Structure 1
Amino acid sequence: MASLLEKISDLNDLVLQGKAMDAFEKYYHQDVSMQENENQPTLGKENNREREKEFFSSIVEFRGAKPLNVSVGEGVSMVEWHYDYNHKDWGERNYTQVSVQEWKDGQIIREKFYYNS
């Protein structure tokens, strides 16, 4: 059975290969809750799948993403990412974000994104 560090490393690698939706299907729990800063969380895999698809389809130019730091604890992982892209509604985005993932049954049950908007 893969360790949490192996799982989050594989998830990050899939994202870097342009396979974020494959990573989502593989590593996100059916009952996942995903939350941007202090906004209302999006609940359930189907709702989050649509949210993710909408986000990726809105990127008009992608210049890069890089995981800067990865930390793993008991049932939790954190990844500091740097992103650089243009979004059709938000314009140029070049920022650092921390994603905190809580794991259950080998999948992410809750993820919260922290960034300066």
Structure 2
Amino acid sequence: MSTLLGKISDLNDLILQGKAMEAFERYYHEDVVMQENETKPTVGKTANRKREEEFFGAIIEFRGARPLKVTIGENSTMVEWHYDYTHREWGVRNYTQVSVQEWKNGQIVREKFYYGS
């Protein structure tokens, strides 16, 4: 996977196969910064790994996810996702989210998630 299209396509495919943590290990940089809307960013792969594991561990029922649109720019990708699941703390979630990734040397160094409440 040498192109951004190839990398983001593989990352999305891994997520759809239930291998989100494998995608995280493969495509996220050690110094990655991840942010939900305008909340305080989470810095570093270790802290973000913990955050991701807590999120996936709190999903009670997963009904589906699908990428709706993928956009490729210079060292950046954007994916519009539709998610449908039940979370232990948040209840039923059925929504659309845009994930914006900044890439450096083949890995994501920054990712920000945009969605309504």
- The whole-number CA distance in structure 1 between the counterparts of 2:78 and 2:70 is 6
Q: Please tell me whether residue 52 in structure 1 is matched to residue 52 in structure 2.
A: yes
Q: Which runs of 4+ in 1 moved over 3 A?
A: none
- The whole-number CA distance in structure 1 between the counterparts of 2:95 and 2:89 is 16
Structure 2 unpaired stretches of 5+: none
Structure 1 unpaired stretches of 5+: none
Instruction: Give the drift of 1:2.
Output: 1.2
Count matched residues: 117
Letter in 2 for 1:34: M
> Normalising to structure 2: TM-score of the pair?
0.99
Q: What's the C-alpha RMSD, in Å, of the aligned pairs?
A: 0.6
- The whole-number CA distance in structure 1 between the counterparts of 2:58 and 2:95 is 17
| CA distances 1:36-61 after superposition (whole Å, capped 9, x unpaired) | 00000000000000000000000000
Instruction: Trace 1:1-117 onto structure 2 (pairs within 5 A).
Output: 2-117=2-117
> Normalising to structure 1: TM-score of the pair?
0.99
